[in-house]
Amino acid sequence: MISIQNVSKWYGDFQVLSDCSTEVQKGEVVVVCGPSGSGKSTLIKCVNGLEPFQAGTIVVNGTSVGAPKTDLPKLRSRVGMVFQHFELFPHLSITDNLTLAQRKVLGRKEDEARTKGLALLDRVGLSAHAAKFPGQLSGGQQQRVAIARALAMDPIAMLFDEPTSALDPEMINEVLDVMVELAREGMTMMVVTHEMGFARKVANRVIFMDRGAIVEDAAKDEFFGSPRSERAQAFLSKILSH
């Protein structure tokens, strides 16, 4: 579904990604972890072309992301993305947030988009808030709406960029619960997160990144049981020790 081959990216002289390669199969959940500044967010933003990259190829469902002729908006409309800071549109009601892209990108009729949006809002447990504005919801609620907004586009895969890092601890679980459910339904997911509990529960594979490179790419049990690289061992012992 998502194939990343030898991707490198530079900001001027500074290399943020070096020779990254991995694959995400249909229905697979891949967690990307690593210290801050290791390039995980950059890598996931390359997948839907939000960040350009200078070398390598990324192919999503048969479409090459970096190719000049690729219709990026069309590709992006099929790949859902959830951001660290939710990024709901604050001037639009929750309903309008859920329907805007459905109408403008997919060309759905107002009624159809609304029905779809509200069904998904119900699914994330927030149907009572349809008429509110994002600023009136808690962080956890906003992030659940953001997930619903992405799902409303009927995505073939979902990208999560540290979806719980900006949340208060008590709100993290309400977001993770939605993501776990999604994973169990067979959604293809690439998730940048430090939530190792989530990785343990639903990930098929874990990718560990450090200084722009993929250091470890292993099945979940293998990663948590016996990580090969020292760097990943050190990271895991730090993150799991308390």
Please give the residue ranges that form the binding site for other proteins (CB under 8 A).
45, 48, 50, 72-74, 76-81, 83-85, 87-91, 100-101, 104-106, 133-136, 146, 149-150, 153
* Cα 10 from Cα 14, distance rounded (Å): 5
From the CB of 178, what's the least distance to other proteins, in Å?
Answer: 18
* Cα 198 from Cα 192, distance rounded (Å): 11
* Cα 125 from Cα 234, distance rounded (Å): 38
From the CB of 194, what's the least distance to other proteins, in Å?
Answer: 19
* Cα 115 from Cα 161, distance rounded (Å): 27
Residue with tokens 């070096």: 18
From the CB of 85, what's the least distance to other proteins, in Å?
Answer: 5
Pick the closer one to other proteins by CB: 20 or 88: 88
Pick the closer one to other proteins by CB: 51 or 222: 51
* Cα 61 from Cα 2, distance rounded (Å): 6
When computed from its CA atoms, the radius of gyration of the chain, rounded to whole angstroms, is: 18
**CB-neighbour burial class of residue 61 (10 A; exposed 0-12, middle 13-18, buried 19+):** middle
Q: Distances from the Cα of 58 to the Cαs of 26, 99, 242, in angstroms?
A: 15, 29, 37
Q: Could you tell me if 76 and 149 are in contact, meaning their C-beta atoms sit under 8 angstroms apart?
A: no
